Amino acid sequence: MTDIAPELPDEALGHLQETLLRAVLSRESLPGGGQPVDLPDLPFVLRQPAVFLSNENLAGSLSLEALPVPVHILSQEDMVEEARESGDRAYLHFQRTQEEGDAVRVTLEAKIIPQDPGQHALGLSGVQVKFRKVDGQWVTVEDPRFLAT
């Protein structure tokens, strides 16, 4: 596996990230998939009035208006500040996208930033999806893999 090279534009990567985020937050299936995507720690993330999404590793622009819950994209520094002021904060974070031949692997993780400034962010669960372009459309090519991070 290698990091995505410039062959895949940010717009396409952003589309894949948005597709995965929408499926997770809506508990819907992905294009080409049969089962809804059910991130194990999503209820913990949804206990807050809005879902925080780290801006790290985001590609392109995401359309957040049609999502089932409010999503706020924040820098790591802003999320740390939010946790210091308001208590532990759960958030979602995309890992660096990877390419595997003609497929693209996208990983979305749930994490917690503790209120205590002496502690680092803690990993919760994650989901990893492999997409491939088929007949001009991005579809999943295997069942999502769920991770304990």
Q: How much is the pLDDT for 7?
A: 64
3-state secondary structure the chain: CEECCCCCCHHHHHHHHHHHHHHHHHCCCCCCCCCCCCCCCHHHHCCCCCEEEECCCCCCCCCCCCCCCCEEEECHHHHHHHHHHHCCEEEEEECCCEEECCEEEEEEEEEEECCCCCCCCEEEEEEEEEEEEECCEEEECCCCEEEEC
pTM for this entry:
0.90
**12-28, pLDDT tens digit by residue?**
899 999 999 999 999 99
- Residues (pLDDT < 50) of the chain are 1-6
Q: How much is the pLDDT for 1?
A: 45
Q: How much is the pLDDT for 64?
A: 82
Q: How much is the pLDDT for 59?
A: 86
